[in-house]
Structures are given as C-alpha cells and as structure tokens.
Amino acid sequence: MFLCLFLMLAAVSALAQDSQPNPPAQAGNAAQVTPAQIKFHGVPWRDPHAGPINTAAPAGAHLSYFGGPVISNTHVVQVLYGSGSYNAQVAGSATPSMGNFFGDILSTSSGYISLLTQYNTPASGGTNQVIGNGTFDGLFQIVPSSANNGSTIDDTNIQSELLAQINGGHLPAPLTDAAGNVNTLYMIYFPPGKTITQGGSSSCVGGGFCAYHGTTSSTLNARHILYGVLPDMQAGSGCSTGCGSSTVFNNYTSVTSHELTEAITDADVGIATTFAAPLAWYDQTNGEIGDICNGQQGSYVANGTTYTIQLEFSNSASNCVLPPAGGGATPNFSLSASPASVSVTQGSSASSTITVTPSGGFTGSVTLSASGLPAGVTASFGTNPVTSTSTVTFTASSTATTGPATVTITGTSGTLSHTTSIGLTVNASGGGGAQQLIVNGGFETGTATPWSLTAGVLNNSTAEPAHTGSWDAWLDGYGTNHTDTASQTVTIPSTATSATLTFWLHIDTAETTTTTAFDTLKVQVFNTSGTLLGTLGTFSNLNKAAGYSQKSFSVLSFKGQTVQIRFTGTEDSSLQTSFVIDDVALNVQ
C-alpha cells in the first residue's frame, strides 16, 4: 500500500523514516554515503486512487547486517500526546485496544518474535544480541508544554517533549538489556487536528507520511531514546484515506507493526550516517524490513485475537511474510461468499465476492473453481489465485437453464481445500417480463468493462466502502480542480412501459458551507453522438450524509433509443468531496 520515498542522508540525522523529499546533500567527510543514500524508514502517505499494492518483495531484496544494535526485549510505552478525541481503541477505552495489540504481538503466545530471531546479531562484528519476547509497559497521557503542542508539531518538538516528560517523571525511564542496549520504545499517538512535520515533510498529505520512528539526537543518561510517531488516522484526517485499506483501527495496527518491527531490527538507524554501525539490518536498495513490504496487509492471530499487521521481509523466505502461528496453531484458511444468494436473468450476468480468511499464520494463495453450474451458465473469477478477495461473475446465456441451483466454490492451496456455496437462480428473459439493462452495476467484476470510467474511479478501498460487495465507483475526492466520469451505453426497448434508473449514492465532503454547491455530481443521458438529452438529477457537497441512499429516476422518455447513462463528478480547487456510486440498475418492463 505504500510507496517508498528516498531521503538524501544529511551529515547529522536524528530521525529514521522513508517518507521525506530529497533535500540538498550536506557537506561531509569522505566516510559519508552520498549519493547512495540511506532510505529512512516510515510509512509514506499513499494516494487512495493509486494502482494496486505490490504483493511480493522486490527482486533481489535482502537485509544485510551493518554492526548496529537491535532491541533485545521490547518494552513498549504507549503515549497519548495531549488531550483530544482519540480513536477509542487507541485510547484504551474499547477492546481490543492498542495496548492489547502490543501485549499480544510481543507475548510468548505469538509467533511474531520467532520471525525476527533470524536477525539476532553476531558477537564478532556486532552487538551479540538475541531478539526475544517483549511486554507492554502501559498507556500514559501526557500534557505537553504549549511550545511543543501547536497545531503543527515538528519532530524537534516531539524529541524535546519526550525527554522532558521522562526527566519530569511523567513517563517511565528507558530500560536496557544486560549490555546497556535500550529496550524501551515510546510509541506516541497524536489526537485529531495535529499536523506533524519532519525534514520539510508533513503527515497525512500527498508526498508526506503516515508514521515514522526515530532516535533522539540528544541523550538521556548517555543513551539515545527510541520512539515512534503515529498521527491521527480517523475520518477527517488525510491519514484516513492514504494509510491503509482496512478499518481505522486495523490501519493503526498495520502502520504500528511496520514501525515496531523496524525499530526492533534497526534500533539506531536514526543516528546512522553511513552503511555501518550503528545501522543494523538494512537493504541498501529497498530500505528496512518494513520498507521492503510497504502496505502489504494481512490478518494475524496473536494470543487469540485477530489483528491486521503489515507483512515483513524474511531473509530466510526471500519474501514478505506474516509471522508463523503462535501456540502451535496450523496455518489454514476458510472461504465465504457475499452475497450467498444471487439471481441472474438469461442473457445477463451477476456476481458475488469470495473472501479468503487466513488463520494460523496462513500466507499462501488460493486457487478458486466453481462446480454445479446450470447448463448455459459460466463462472469467471476476477483474481485467481487469490490471497484476499475475488469476484466471481456468473454469466447466463439466452438459453441458460432456468430455476434454482447450488454452486460450489472450491478453494485449494497445496494440500488444503475448502468450499463455500452460493444459491444461484436463473430467471427467464423476454415475454414482456422485467429486464435489467446495466451490466456490472455493482462493479464487482473488479474491472471497468462495460463501463467507461476515468482513471482511479474503480475502487475497492475501505476508505470509501461499497454499498454491497467490495467494489464501487469513487468519483472525485481529491480536493483540487478535478472531473471524474462513469458511463455505460444501453438500449431501452421501444416496447417498454416503464424504465427506471436506480443507484446507491454516498457523499462525504470536507466543505463546511451549508449554502453553496462547490462540488457537484450530475446524472445525465446522452445520445450516441454525445449530445445531451437530459439531466436527471444534480447532487453536491450540500447533500453529504453518512451511509448510502438510493436514488431513482424514470428514463421512459428515452425508450426506443440507444443512450449513454453518465455520472459526472466535478470538484473545485479546494476541500474534497467524494461521490461514491454502487449497485446501479436500469429496470425496464
């Protein structure tokens, strides 16, 4: 989900993150690495309309050891930076909480640490550390000084405040291992309304970052302090759409796991100035353990609770992987279908979404097949093999056998095999009966066809979830001068006695006006020459509402014609408005 950005290494760098722009190279001695720069580690903000996330590690990826420390037994101190409307699970007032996540993932009942033991450090040329299980040392809400708690908070403010809070006894002092290597990691979460800046880059915006981890440039008792920075990711923040494809809390745990894992395997990268100690495990081309697998989310069961985490790079597997199962669980998966009952008319198609749910650390791909299809009906899968979801589309010929049938969807991965069932009903067409003219009205094939969509409109991100299934058409949402369209051509029979266009629409906006329609969605009908025949309806930022509402328009006046149904979303130069369309139908009788 996340693209890796590069940062030219400055002579004195106190932060590790990969989400910064390239400032000018600084003067330095011959030992400094330029222009072969260290890629700082963090989670870059990603345009939610961008293309698919990589599902494997880059070719040739490998982490090399440069002599620096890791974290032997991580003690996580979670910090809430001041007051505000924090996500309930981050704030610990709902379960599973972020504290639960840290405690579960680091515990002996989780297989997370066993993935990381391949990055123990050697005694010769290294720090002679063994990575072991850790603990959650508690949630602390601090009261930052006003100088370090404006609407924009720079990394220098965060470092200053962290050291002051520890020195003031408001946060636990850092713990160390037997050799004096720091074990405590302060994971700092921020409330809504705070923009974090570092090195000229900002949180939750294009070209910025979702999170990062760092090392204080100043020391406390001769030791640099390790910390992570996690901006607000709730609805209304830029990080709600650019930092993951799952729910708010799942995106929090995914981004958090990225930073946690990188801190454990490369603790002092923030003060490294060359490809040498204190740098620890690092790939000179792709960055740190999390950078190599940026944005690849998976489900993982830790201490009996399923969390969303980012896959991490394994030298032994030469790929991005989830940790092995903890507690002796066996990797496995299950299948489900939504909806589990589908109707299709002869000469048309219908679809359902198949979901693969992994368990026990399962990371494989699943090959899908369909059996029990009625004569004249075919099944095709949008993605096959699949690791998460795939759309199965049933296409019925004009002579397909009518009536109910049970279709079995089988998924296989190696020796594992599981099934799920879909009730499929084939209805007769013709004879004056009802017809549905829109094809792929729910966009569940995962492709535009036969729609004509502008780039980025086809969407399966949970930032703008579908009305049903997994896919929808997301028009606009950029906050700049922009126009998106979605259109499909249909022929309305001349014998029609009714013709009704219906669709489900969700509108959300950053506009605050209650009087001016700055951003609009027009629903229009054109002929095949592109001439506007009529505008059925116009919606705007003034129609924003939670959830979807169904809209309905008669198009009977266009019977006997081949027409194009077109949705056009137009934004002005600021403050995004998203028009999300799903389950489009044109029913004629």
Pairing of strands 472-476, 458-459: antiparallel
Which range among 11-15, 170-174, 243-247 has the greatest average pLDDT?
170-174
- Reported as a single tens digit per residue, the pLDDT across 44-68 is 656 566 655 667 889 999 999 999 9
User: Do both 397 and 440 map to the same domain?
Assistant: no
Residues 437-459: what's their mean pLDDT?
90
Round the average pLDDT of the chain to a whole number and report it: 87
Confidence (pLDDT) at 3: 29
Is residue 362 predicted with pLDDT exceeding 80? no
* C-alpha span between 327 and 399 (Å, rounded): 54
235 and 148 in one domain?
Answer: yes
Q: Is the pLDDT of residue 31 over 60?
A: no
419 and 436 fall within a common domain: no
Considering only residues 77 and 21, tell me which one the structure prediction assigns the higher pLDDT: 77
Two tokens, residue 175: 């713990």
Q: Which residue has the higher pLDDT, 45 or 281?
A: 281
Answer whether residue 162 is part of any domain: yes
In a domain, 152, yes or no: yes
Residue range of the domain that includes 286: 15-321
Query: In the predicted model, what is the mean pLDDT of residues 316-323?
Result: 91
| One domain, residues 424 and 492 | no
Q: Position 293: which residue type?
A: C
Asked if residue 9 belongs to a domain, the reply is no
**pLDDT at site 20:** 30
Residue 82: what residue type? G
Position 1 in a domain: no
Report residue 336's pLDDT band, with 50, 70 and 90 as the boundaries: confident
Query: What residue has token string 């209650």?
Result: 514
Mean pLDDT of 564-574: 96
CA 280 to chain centre: 28
Query: Would you call 407 helix, strand, or coil by DSSP?
Result: strand
Where is the domain boundary, 266, 297, 321? 321
Residue 342: pLDDT above 90? no
The rounded distance, in Å, linking the Cα atoms of 504 and 582 is 5
Q: Within this chain, do residues 415 and 441 fall inside the same structural domain, yes or no?
A: no
* Least confident piece of the model among 108-117, 131-140, 336-345, 460-469: 336-345
Instruction: Specify if 284 maps to a domain.
Output: yes
**Whole-number pLDDT of residue 588:** 84
CA 512 to chain centre: 27
Q: The domain spanning residue 423 has which CATH number? A: 2.60.40.10
**Dmax over Cα atoms in the chain, in whole Å?**
86
pLDDT at residue 566 greater than cutoff 90 = yes
- Whether 79 is covered by a domain: the verdict is yes
Which of 355, 479, 572 is CA-nearest to residue 48?
Answer: 479
Exposure string for 466-486, b = 16+ CB within 10 A, e = fewer = bbbbbbbbbbbbbbeebebbb
Q: Where are the alpha helices (DSSP H) in 185-330?
A: 239-242, 248-265
Q: Are residues 315 and 444 in the same domain?
A: no
Same domain, 442 and 567: yes
Q: Give yes or no: residues 314 and 440 share one domain.
A: no
Please give the DSSP secondary-structure letter assigned to residue 182.
B
Does a structural domain hold residue 298? yes
Tens digits of per-residue pLDDT, 216-263?
Answer: 999 999 999 999 999 999 998 989 888 888 899 999 999 999 999 999
Do 150 and 290 belong to one domain? yes
Query: If you compute the radius of gyration of the chain from its CA atoms, what whole number of angstroms results?
Result: 27
Domain boundary among 397, 429, 461: 429
| Mean pLDDT on 516-525 | 97
Shared domain for 295 and 406, answered yes or no, is no
pTM of the predicted protein model:
0.55
Query: Of 110, 123, 40, 122, whose CA–CA distance to 74 is shortest?
Result: 110
pLDDT above 90 (res 506): yes
Q: Tens of pLDDT along 69-109?
A: 999 999 999 999 999 999 999 999 999 999 999 999 999 88
Other beta carbons within 10 angstroms of residue 185's beta carbon come to: 25
| Last residue of one domain, picked from the residues 274, 299, 321 | 321
CATH number at residue 554: 2.60.120.260
Asked if the model's pLDDT at residue 42 lies above 90, the reply is no
In this model, does residue 10 exceed pLDDT 70?
no
What per-residue confidence (pLDDT) applies to 36?
A: 40
What average pLDDT does this structure show over 331-345?
A: 83
Q: Residue 378 corresponds to which tokens in the numbers above? A: 């075919």
Specify the number of domains making up the chain: 3
Within-domain flag for 449 = yes
| Same domain? 175 vs 276 | yes
Kindly state whether residues 194 and 314 are assigned to the same domain: yes
Q: Which of 484, 459, 454 is nearest to 245 (CA)?
A: 459
